[in-house]
Amino acid sequence: MFFSQKILVVGGGGREHALVWKLAQSPHVSAIFCAPGNAGIETLATCVSIEVNHIEELAQFAIDHDIDLTLVGPEIPLSLGIVDLFESKDLKIFGPNKEASQFESSKAFSKKFMKKHGIPSADYREFTQYEEAVKWVSTLPLAPSHQESGASIVIKADGLAAGKGVRICKTFEESTKSLQDFMCNKIFGEDNARVVVEEFLKGEELSYLILCDGNSYLPLASSQDHKRLLDNDEGPNTGGMGAYSPARNMSDELEFKIKTRIVEPFLKGCLKEGIHYKGILYIGLMIIQGDPYVLEFNVRFGDPETQALMLRLDSDLIEVILSCLKGEISQFHLEWKNEAALCVVMVSNGYPDHYKKGFTISGLEKLGSEHVVFHAGTQKMNHHYVSHGGRVLCIGSLGTTLEEAHEKAYRAVSCVHWDGVHYRKDIGKRGEVL
């Protein structure tokens, strides 16, 4: 049976290109629109110039164009209540409502929920007063100024901060500077003057994404992101510099622990508190000596994890999502390729801070069909692409082993160039030693 769906995808990054790429392969899809999309997405979908935070305009577009189903990529429209708005107009949309989106839009909400429902996570304190936060931090065994040894703490702005609201601080001076930035200078706005200060967890990260239908869930394949800008996990945190799937630190035993200690208490907690969680839940985990701890919940697909996952997914994405929306996700069986997928993100010089745009990208025409190029921040000028964002491209390959996927993806990456291009050389090398 074919459903002939007209789909709207909200977003315009590499993640949305991967979703559109996968949707375009489905026989159930008759048309794809993407708002705002990007120059790569344009080859597969009709791009619509509506920004992701203009949720009223998006709803009107869905009505005017008889959209059957809307998929939301980024967290901002979810936290603004795009799902509540669409549902109030009888428009079908996949994602959590505004209340459930607080798991990402408020770290304090999320931490409180985890503590209440016994979900393992770093110890924390929440502060709204700068002086109180400094007083507490001064009691911690932080390293002396300018020394690398000693404990660290993690200071997190409460609300959404485009991946920049988390600082890992080694000294008292670094900590007070971050508290000042967040609480006094309010660099992420008035709402983010609340902070969560938490214990630093040392381990291996793992991204565990599940589809939730309000009652039950279905896990996607495991993946691992590389958040730091530079090789060997150095430099500042970014939105993500590359990902691969399956994660090499996943095992049946670990997955059992994640399900019983985290996913099931999460779903039970939601039911108890009357939170209806429907959509993707992205659980960012730190694995310490074989035990999982939650670093964060995101209420959407990960970027760039989704690029790696879509390369491996054999099932039809529309069938999966429709079954989730019908509340039948526990009966769905997902099919994955046995191969490993690996994606490398190529960024502009200066990212994640200030960078220039408009550099001509060369070499894309040299890539064969064994490579998939997901565009994140590009523009088409005459007959070539130019850089138009911090994260510019994400190039992915499949391989019979992770090493082969790594080798193939980097062969492609080495063909592509623009002035100031930067990428990590060690995607997929993390987690080798557990």
Site for ligand AMP, rule CB under 6 A: 122, 154, 156, 166, 168, 198, 200-201, 205, 227, 237, 284, 295-296
> Least CB distance from residue 11 to ligand GLY, whole Å?
12
Using CB under 6 A, pick the residue from 16, 198, 303, 316 that binds ligand GLY: 303
| Nearest CB to ligand GLY, comparing residues 322 and 344 | 344
Specify whether the CB–CB gap between 341 and 308 falls below 8 A: yes
Using CB under 6 A, pick the residue from 16, 305, 316, 339 that binds ligand GLY: 305
Q: Which does 11 bind (CB under 5 to 8 A by kind): ligand GLY, ligand AMP, none?
A: none
| Nearest CB to ligand AMP, comparing residues 166 and 313 | 166
> Least CB distance from residue 190 to ligand AMP, whole Å?
20
| Nearest CB to ligand AMP, comparing residues 69 and 169 | 169
Q: Which does 16 bind (CB under 5 to 8 A by kind): ligand GLY, ligand AMP, none?
A: none
Angle 305-312/14-23 helices, nearest 10 degrees? Answer: 20
The angle subtended at Cα 390 by Cα 161 and Cα 372, nearest 5°, is: 115
User: Which residues, 6+ apart, have CB-to-CB distance to 55 below 8 Å?
Assistant: 77, 80, 81, 82, 85
User: Which residues, 6+ apart, have CB-to-CB distance to 397 below 8 Å?
Assistant: 311, 341, 342, 370, 371, 372, 405, 408, 409, 412
Structure tokens at 167: 């600082």
Count other C-beta atoms under 10 Å from residue 128's C-beta. 12
Q: Which does 166 bind (CB under 5 to 8 A by kind): ligand AMP, ligand GLY, none?
A: ligand AMP
- 344 forms bridges with which residues in the sheet? 242, 395
**Calpha distance 326→322 (Å, rounded):** 6
Nearest to 303 by CA among 236, 421, 235, 393: 393
> Least CB distance from residue 94 to ligand AMP, whole Å?
23
**Calpha distance 27→4 (Å, rounded):** 8
Using CB under 6 A, pick the residue from 16, 158, 205, 225 that binds ligand GLY: 225
Q: Which does 224 bind (CB under 5 to 8 A by kind): ligand GLY, ligand AMP, none?
A: none
Dihedrals phi, psi of 268, to nearest 5 degrees: -65, -40
Q: Is 339 in the site for ligand GLY (CB under 6 A)?
A: no
Spell out where 334-403 has E strands: 340-347, 371-375, 378-381, 384-387, 391-399
Q: Is 205 in the site for ligand GLY (CB under 6 A)?
A: no
Q: Is 298 in the site for ligand GLY (CB under 6 A)?
A: yes
> Least CB distance from residue 227 to ligand GLY, whole Å?
7
Q: Is 16 in the site for ligand GLY (CB under 6 A)?
A: no
Q: Which does 198 bind (CB under 5 to 8 A by kind): ligand AMP, ligand GLY, none?
A: ligand AMP
Specify whether the CB–CB gap between 249 and 206 falls below 8 A: yes
**Calpha distance 119→260 (Å, rounded):** 10
Q: Which range touches ligand GLY (CB under 6 A), out of 113-121, 154-162, 297-305, 315-323?
A: 297-305
**Calpha distance 125→196 (Å, rounded):** 6
Using CB under 6 A, pick the residue from 302, 352, 377, 390 that binds ligand GLY: 302
Q: Residues 248-287 vs ligand GLY: string with x where CB under 6 A?
A: ----------------------------------------
Nearest to 377 by CA among 346, 350, 353: 346
| Nearest CB to ligand GLY, comparing residues 137 and 280 | 280
> Least CB distance from residue 296 to ligand GLY, whole Å?
8
**Calpha distance 43→293 (Å, rounded):** 40
| Nearest CB to ligand AMP, comparing residues 47 and 155 | 155
End-to-end CA distance of the chain: 46
Q: Which residues of this protein are in contact with ligand GLY, per CB under 6 A?
A: 225, 240, 298, 302-303, 305
